[in-house]
Structure 1
Amino acid sequence: MSDPVQLANLMCSRLCHDLLSPVGGMSNGIELLADETDPAMREQCIELLAQGARRTATKLRFFRLAFGAAGGFDAQLPINDLTELVDALAAEGRDIEVKWTIGVEGLPKAAVKVLLNFALLAIEALPRGGTVTIAVEDSGSAHEIAIRSEGTRIAFDADVGRALDGDIAMNDLNAHTAPAELVRLVATDCGGGVQHAKSDNALVLGAVLPHA
């Protein structure tokens, strides 16, 4: 049985973990800037600060929708806003190309959460770069989301797959697997479900979310 308090704790831990690196870079930049007098080095420090600020803003905007309640639970969010967030996250220091096939103008909040968390898993599955292909359609009775990661190496923790399948106990979840549990719960609450499949060079994630 899901424990909402424990899941919230894990999601907060995941958020803090992912923000630590860009915020830490900004902190280092401030320290260097305070002690540096060489103009060229100060310029590099300022660029380090700017890079950290961009990365932090990108992650906050992404996680605000992926993990939080931004926009209201009944809001339809424009698909263009979501593609911008995913493209920005994929561009953060990775050699990843994102391709889109979109058949909708907007998505309800539940589908947004599934899409963004799937995209996060897909991007993280490509530590050496590759291609993420995302398709979003409306069948008339449900929103259908399919994401495929392709690359020379696929990194997909078996426990993440177990969380998507509902085969992992709440006490065994951690900050890394909690987003997969969130996706499963959101899909189940909609009366839908999620699927996943992995090969040596590809990961496929899919969800069907019936209309309310």
Structure 2
Amino acid sequence: MLEPHRLAELMAARIFHDLGSPMASITAILPQATDPAAHAILMETAGELRARMKLFSAAFGHGDDLGWAELGLLLQGAPMAHRVRFELPGAAGLLSAGRVRLMLSLALLTAEALPRGGVVHIAEDSPGWVTFLPEGRDAAWSPTLAELMAGGEMEAALADGPRRVLAPWALAQAAAEGMELSFALGVGQAVAPLRLGPPG
């Protein structure tokens, strides 16, 4: 059973953690901001923080309808963007705010499957279906996601804490959008792609 308040608490903790690193860097550099080298680092870090906040606003907050290209731009602010590349389809048309939230959440969840970096492939493989595939060394889906996909309880998934909260969050978003997640089998990849599509 989904516990909305617990899910919200864990998402808040996760967001604060992911914003904390650039904020700490800015705080540490500020006293030296008059130094040209320090100023350049400060401006770069501030840009990273701004990009991350825009991404989190769209993925976890109340956003706008967006196109696929705009999703790609937002994902440049991902915490793991320095080691993970996101490849998205050049599809036309707009995605609703709810679908944007779902797509971004699944993209971030897929990136978490790449501990050593790599590429997140996102593709529309048939009408109404989108596939998310992590490609890279030691790629592996979150154990929390695997357990939930195998019928595990949401309460047990939430017990894994903020580090693993993207899996229950993504499944909750999929349910809110009337969509289902499944693993694609027998496709020859080292890691099974995650598929999003209509129920049934």
- Give the TM-score normalised by structure 2: 0.83
- In structure 1, which of residues 186, 191, 199 is the aligned counterpart of residue 178 of structure 2? 191
Deviations 1:107-153 (A, max 9, x none): 112321221011112222223222221113772xxx32211111112
1:139-158 equivalences under 5 Å are 139=127, 143-158=128-143
> SS where residue 148 of structure 1 aligns?
strand
| 2:54 maps to 1:61 | yes
Q: Give the structure 2 partner of residue 38 of structure 1.
A: none
Q: Give the structure 2 partner of residue 6 of structure 1.
A: 6
Q: Give the structure 2 partner of residue 134 of structure 1.
A: 122
Q: What displacement does 1:57 show?
A: 1.0
Q: Give the structure 2 partner of residue 77 of structure 1.
A: 66
Distance in 1 (alpha carbons) for counterparts of 2:164 and 2:20: 18
Q: What displacement does 1:204 show?
A: 1.9
Deviations 1:178-207 (A, max 9, x none): 222122122223332112469995352221
Q: Which runs of 5+ in 2 are unaligned?
A: none
Distance in 1 (alpha carbons) for counterparts of 2:121 and 2:113: 13
Distance in 2 (alpha carbons) for counterparts of 1:90 and 1:147: 18
CA contact (8 A) 1:147 1:204 kept: yes
Deviations 1:60-92 (A, max 9, x none): 111111111123xxxx32222112112443873
> SS where residue 37 of structure 2 aligns?
helix
1:99-114 equivalences under 5 Å are 99-114=87-102
Q: How many residues align?
A: 195
CA contact (8 A) 2:72 2:86 kept: no
Higher Cα Rg, which structure: 1
| 2:172 maps to 1:179 | no
Distance in 2 (alpha carbons) for counterparts of 1:97 and 1:145: 18
Distance in 1 (alpha carbons) for counterparts of 2:49 and 2:67: 22
Distance in 1 (alpha carbons) for counterparts of 2:133 and 2:45: 29
> SS where residue 176 of structure 1 aligns?
helix
Q: Which has the higher strand share?
A: 1
Q: Give the structure 2 partner of residue 39 of structure 1.
A: none
Q: What displacement does 1:165 show?
A: 5.1
Q: What displacement does 1:157 show?
A: 2.6
Q: Which runs of 5+ in 1 are unaligned?
A: 35-41
Percent identity (aligned): 25
Deviates more, 1:128-137 or 1:60-69: 128-137
